[in-house]
Amino acid sequence: MDVPAGLGERGLAVWEAMSGTDVPRNALVLEAARLADRLDELDNIIQGKGVLN
């Protein structure tokens, strides 16, 4: 399965660990991966390391 574009480090890890051949499951995994990346961005903001893209 192709890796979706735009995933960050943590999102990519989630995708690689949980994706498979089940399309409905992959839709949920993709959203979980995006959420993981967004949480990392928010954590960086809280720690004063950057802003959201």
Q: Are 37 and 11 in contact (CB under 8 A)?
A: yes
Q: CA 11, CA 37: separation in Å to the nearest integer? A: 5
The larger pLDDT score, comparing residue 16 to residue 45, is at: 16
Tens digit of each residue's pLDDT (9 = 90 or more) over 27-47: 999 999 999 999 999 998 888
Q: Which amino acid would we find at residue 34?
A: R
The whole-number pLDDT of residue 22 equals: 94
* pTM of the predicted model as reported, rounded to 2 decimal places: 0.84
What tokens were used for 9?
């480090």
